[in-house]
């Protein structure tokens, strides 16, 4: 199953901080320099981000399992976009949710970058020759017991994606500028076993990007906008 889907939107407004130019004006050099200067975890400790940020007490007990995801910034003529996936509806966990390509660290993976690249190849068929890792976000701890290392990478088109239908329903892109616009970042809640749980959400077209993926996108936006 092959799918490459870029959903267009206009440039956001009101960005300030580290980079004041709109996202469509950024160059690869700008983004490389930004991540050379970024020190993951400098806001607090390196595992200070996670579902517990908006939900005090939602810290998993026991040993955390290591995972890694790729945060792909695709260099499009109209500006950078972020490549995401929608998980298939039949999965036992996070069915139908929007996610970065990635997964658990496996024996034989040299490091978090190797895990993210392997999983990206397996899930959506994006080859390593298109990917340039440039840094990472803060580690993110999920309520399900994973500590996730998000690897930020520049991605060079053209490319054709071949998604694994057992894991991914489709792959699509969201303009980076949309994510950087603070007006598009919202908080929402739901009742989980009688307790209100809170989470970030980006509503893009008919898609809701929420949970851990949205939390990592908030971290990404903070790096760009200060």
pLDDT band at residue 165 under the 50/70/90 scheme: very high
- Write phi, then psi, for 68 (nearest 5 degrees): -145, 145
How many C-beta atoms lie closer than 10 Å to residue 129's C-beta? 8
Residue-level pLDDT at 47: 55
pLDDT, greater one: 113 or 2: 113
Long-range residue pairs from 60-63, CB within 8 A, at least 24 positions apart, any chain:
60/141, 60/142, 60/143, 60/144, 60/145, 62/145, 63/145
Q: Considering the entire predicted model, what is its pTM?
A: 0.85
**With 60 as the cut, is the pLDDT of residue 161 above it?**
yes
Tell me the pLDDT tens digit for each residue of 101-136: 999 999 999 999 999 999 999 999 999 999 999 999
Residue-level pLDDT at 11: 32
Domain spans of the chain, in order of start: 26-174
Q: Which CATH number fits domain 26-174: 3.20.20.300, 3.40.1050.10, 3.30.70.100, 3.90.79.10?
A: 3.90.79.10
**With 60 as the cut, is the pLDDT of residue 10 above it?**
no
**With 80 as the cut, is the pLDDT of residue 14 above it?**
no
pLDDT, greater one: 91 or 84: 84
End-to-end alpha carbon distance in the chain? 39
Tell me the pLDDT tens digit for each residue of 172-183: 999 999 999 999
Question: Which sign does the torsion angle of CA 44, 185, 34, 123 carry?
Answer: positive
Tell me the pLDDT tens digit for each residue of 35-74: 998 888 654 445 578 888 888 877 777 889 999 999 999 9
pLDDT, greater one: 93 or 111: 111
């Amino acid at each position: 199953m092959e799918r490459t889907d870029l959903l267009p939107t206009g440039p956001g407004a009101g960005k300030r901080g580290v980079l004041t130019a709109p996202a469509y004006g950024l160059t690869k050099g700008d983004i490389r320099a930004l991540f050379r200067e970024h020190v993951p975890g400098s806001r607090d400790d390196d595992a200070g981000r996670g579902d517990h940020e908006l939900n005090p007490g939602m810290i998993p007990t026991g040993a955390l399992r290591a995972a890694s995801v790729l945060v792909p910034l695709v260099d499009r003529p109209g500006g950078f976009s972020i490549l995401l996936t929608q998980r298939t509806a039949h999965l036992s966990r996070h069915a139908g949710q929007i996610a970065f390509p990635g997964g658990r660290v496996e024996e034989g993976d040299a490091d978090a970058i190797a895990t993210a690249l392997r999983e990206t190849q397996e899930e959506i068929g994006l080859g390593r020759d298109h990917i340039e890792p440039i840094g990472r976000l803060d580690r993110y701890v999920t309520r399900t017991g994973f500590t996730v290392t998000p690897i930020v990478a520049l991605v060079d088109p053209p490319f054709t994606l071949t998604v694994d239908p057992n894991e991914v329903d489709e792959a699509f892109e969201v303009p980076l500028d949309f994510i950087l616009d603070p007006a598009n970042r919202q908080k929402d809640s739901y009742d989980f076993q009688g307790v209100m749980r809170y989470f970030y959400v980006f509503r893009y077209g008919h898609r809701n990007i929420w949970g851990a993926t949205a939390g990592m996108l908030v971290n990404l936006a903070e790096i760009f906008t200060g």
